[in-house]
Amino acid sequence: MRVLVTGGAGFIGSAVLRALAAGGHRSTSYDLATDPRDDIVDVDRLRAATAGQDAIIHLAAKVGLGVDLSDLDGYARHNDLGTAAVLRVAAERSIGRVVLASSMVVYGEGTAQCPQHGTVPVPPRTEDDLARGMFEPRCPRCAEPLRPGLVAEDTGFDPRNVYAATKVQTEQLAAIWARESGGTAVGLRYHNVYGPGLPRDTPYAGVAAIFRSALLAGRAPSVFEDGGQRRDFVHVDDVAAATVAALQAPGLTGYTALNIGSGTITTIGEVAARMAMIMNGPAPVITGHYRLGDVRHITADSSAARRLLDWRPQVTLEQGLATLDQGLDQGPAGLA
Ligand code: UD1
């Protein structure tokens, strides 16, 4: 296939370009980092870039958590308006399949188990609780601590920060595009992606990149809360393979959202300790520091992607973390 990859120079985009080439596809990258004219909201330029393409993989976005509300319009421009422009041009060009990067952040914290009340939505934690070191979310009905579980795709949206809100919008626009154009769109809800080429030295980076930068500078990784936050770290090569598989997976119509995780659950404290050991750095420090926009636990049920994309993650956390101190750095970047 001939595939336009927006954000092709980014951390995930670079891995996707490699996976496309390995799969015999022809790709074109559209990325501000390599050509300042590749503005994602520039409809004319997108029209030129999509000429002759069979599909689009839309990864270009402003990523991360956002530093403060001065980022609001930047996120909306790159992520909401950018996706709208890409989909508009896809419709004009009668492109039949669009694969988009979404994120597990669309769930907020999803649902969890209360010993008394069964499955309940997980409310945002209060600043009071966090300040007192009460990090586990509580049942909205009885305030007992909740037991986390795996989040499936039919769990409702509950975005907790600006970036998350733009990813919800990305998915909603894609669903509308699919319905009105008759095309097929696949929104991939990536979990915590890590691997060689992680961005570094940027407040927009995820935790693995931050820990890696600290260790490279000889500093101890600084673990927030008590380190018991649960996540699913999925290797960038596995994410790239899922993304390419979504281009051609048979049997998908309309809009499909899929969780893309490794299936292995780990805690932030464990990741910090493993990285410190592998990189021969100082042991992590548990700081008790917290960020109001953070969720405590978020782990996916990725079985639908395994089934529908015929995809299996190949890289274990142990193998993946061992390669983290190799490979090329992306350098500072807020845009992927
Ligand atoms: C991350 C990404 C999000 C992406 C999602 C899924 C960022 C900022 N967040 O969300 O964009 O959609 O994965 O791939 O890129 N922490 C520390 N020490 C630090 C920094 C963070 O202990 O120095 C902790 C946080 O408190 C949190 C956990 O690590 O509990 C994960 O943080 P982070 O990677 O920033 O965000 P996610 O919520 O996992």
Q: What is the pLDDT of residue 198?
A: 83
| CATH class for the domain made up of 2-110+151-322 | alpha beta
Residue nearest to atom 39 of ligand 1 (CA): 192
Token pair belonging to 176: 């509308």
Q: What's the CA-to-centroid distance between 308 and ligand 1, angstroms?
A: 28
Going from N- to C-terminal start, the domains of the chain cover 2-110+151-322
Look up the pTM and report it.
0.93
Question: Which of 207, 234, 262 has the most ligand 1 atoms within 8 A of CB, as the residue to mutate?
Answer: 207
Residue nearest to atom 36 of ligand 1 (CA): 206
Do the bridges between strand 118-121 and strand 97-103 make them parallel or antiparallel, or are there none, so unpaired? unpaired
Supply the DSSP string of 69-120, one letter for each residue: GGGHHHHIIIIIIHHHHHHHHHHHTT--EEEEEEEGGGGTT-EEEETTTEEE
* Per-residue b or e along 97-116, where b marks 16 or more CB atoms closer than 10 Å to that residue's CB: bbbbbbbbbbbbbbbbebee
Residue 125 is given by DSSP the state P
CA–CA separation, 59 vs 55, rounded Å?
Answer: 13
- Give, for all 336 residues of the chain, the pLDDT tens digit: 999 999 999 999 999 999 999 999 999 999 999 999 999 999 999 999 999 999 999 999 998 766 678 889 999 999 999 999 999 999 999 999 999 999 999 999 999 999 999 999 999 999 999 999 999 999 999 999 999 989 999 999 999 889 999 999 999 999 999 999 999 999 999 999 999 888 776 666 789 989 998 999 999 999 999 999 999 999 999 999 999 999 999 999 999 999 999 999 999 999 999 999 999 999 999 999 998 878 999 998 999 999 999 999 999 999 999 887 664 444 434 443
Angle between the 11-22 and 236-248 helix axes, to the nearest 10 degrees?
A: 60
Q: What is the pLDDT of residue 65?
A: 67
Q: What's the CA-to-centroid distance between 206 and ligand 1, angstroms?
A: 5
Give the Å distances, CA to CA, from 106 to 153, 199, 210, 245. Answer: 10, 22, 22, 22
